[in-house]
């Protein structure tokens, strides 16, 4: 891929803003509407914000870490930037589509790059019935909640909930319980990335639930449908020597 017009975007942190000023001084800056690539400066949260904001444009995004974790980011450097961009490797990500229904049957839709997470919104545990591709697979899960994660999001909340890390090349999704009480030993499941997952909230008035697609929150949802959106495509760019596939493998051997 050959790029010639970059838009530099940064989070509000002092470190990211300093990097933004340095890059705009050293390179010609284009507006996001005219650029053929976006360079995002910040952490993973800012990367997710950028991907959501420009999802409909389909423009590639190259992140450089000026935040904390930076799992989705490359190392920061001001040297030979366009040479670096033009030899970067691309990773294609398809987000999850969430449709959450309230008790009146009204639907709220949102896209999630990392995960759709359902968590209890009261002192009592949530009760969920889980249906996959039209078949009820679990009549009742009692837990703090559950989540469905993409491969890109499998190292985020999913990993903290003891879910599996999924290589980017695997056409899979992770279905992971959050602090499961019954069945106590259930650790979740790996699903095809074409699977359609439905969560029905049992005793919803007594046990309200919060549905979150990345940062989009829906309260008092009683039915949540989750499926990967293959019509949306996000392109992330990574340095060949430190790409996302390598990061995911390395994360599984972290001590």
pLDDT in tens, 80-130: 999 999 999 998 889 999 999 999 999 999 999 999 999 999 999 999 999
Q: Which residues pair with 216 in a beta bridge?
A: 213
Amino acid 169: pLDDT: 75
Homologous superfamily assigned to 96-228: Probable inorganic polyphosphate/atp-NAD kinase; domain 2 (2.60.200.30)
Question: In the prediction, which pLDDT does 215 show?
Answer: 86
Q: Could you list the beta-strand ranges (E) of the chain.
A: 6-10, 37-42, 61-65, 89-93, 96-101, 107-112, 115-120, 126-132, 135-149, 172-182, 189-192, 196-202, 209-213, 216-219, 223-228, 234-238
Phi, psi of 36 (to 5 degrees): -105, 0
* pLDDT at site 111: 96
Q: What is the CATH number of domain 6-93+233-251?
A: 3.40.50.10330
Give the three-state DSSP class for 69.
coil
Supply 56's token pair. Answer: 């409909």
Rounded distance, CA 231 to CA 45, Å?
Answer: 23
CA dihedral 43, 49, 53, 54 (to 10 degrees): 30
On the question of pLDDT at 168 being above 90, the answer is no
Residues 207, 122 contacting (CB under 8 angstroms): yes
- pLDDT given for residue 242 in this prediction: 67
- Position 113 scores a pLDDT of 94
How confident is the model over 61-91, as pLDDT tens digits? 999 999 887 788 999 999 999 999 999 999 8
Q: Which residues pair with 96 in a beta bridge?
A: 112, 228
Q: What is the mean pLDDT of residues 225-238?
A: 93
- The domain spans of the chain are 6-93+233-251, 96-228
**pLDDT-derived band at 243, boundaries 50, 70, 90:** low
The residues carrying an active-site annotation are 44
The pLDDT of residue 255 is above 70: no
| Short-list 244, 248, 224, CA closest to 236 | 244
Share of the chain above pLDDT 70, in %: 95
């Amino acid at each position: 891929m050959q790029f010639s017009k970059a838009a530099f975007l940064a989070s509000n942190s002092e470190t990211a803003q300093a990097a933004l000023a340095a890059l705009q001084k050293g390179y010609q800056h284009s507006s996001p509407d005219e650029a053929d690539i976006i360079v995002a400066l910040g952490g993973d949260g800012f990367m997710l914000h950028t991907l959501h904001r420009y999802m409909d444009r389909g423009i590639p995004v190259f992140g450089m870490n000026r935040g904390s974790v930076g799992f989705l980011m490359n190392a920061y450097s001001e040297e030979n930037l366009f040479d670096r961009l033009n030899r970067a490797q691309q990773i294609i990500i398809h987000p999850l589509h969430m449709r959450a229904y309230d008790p009146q049957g009204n639907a709220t839709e949102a896209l999630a790059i990392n995960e759709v997470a359902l968590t209890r919104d009261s002192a009592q545990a949530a009760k969920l019935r889980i249906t996959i591709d039209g078949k009820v697979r679990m009549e009742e899960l009692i837990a703090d909640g559950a989540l469905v994660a993409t491969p890109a999001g499998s190292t985020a909340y999913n990993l903290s909930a003891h879910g599996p890390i999924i290589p980017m090349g695997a056409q899979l999704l992770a279905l992971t319980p959050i602090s499961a009480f019954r069945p106590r030993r259930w650790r979740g499941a790996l699903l095809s990335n074409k699977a359609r997952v439905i969560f029905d909230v049992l005793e919803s008035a007594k046990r309200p639930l919060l549905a979150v697609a990345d940062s989009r929150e829906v309260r008092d949802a009683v039915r949540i449908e989750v499926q990967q959106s293959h019509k949306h495509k996000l392109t992330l760019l990574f340095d060949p020597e430190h790409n996302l596939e390598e990061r995911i493998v390395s994360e599984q051997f972290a001590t």
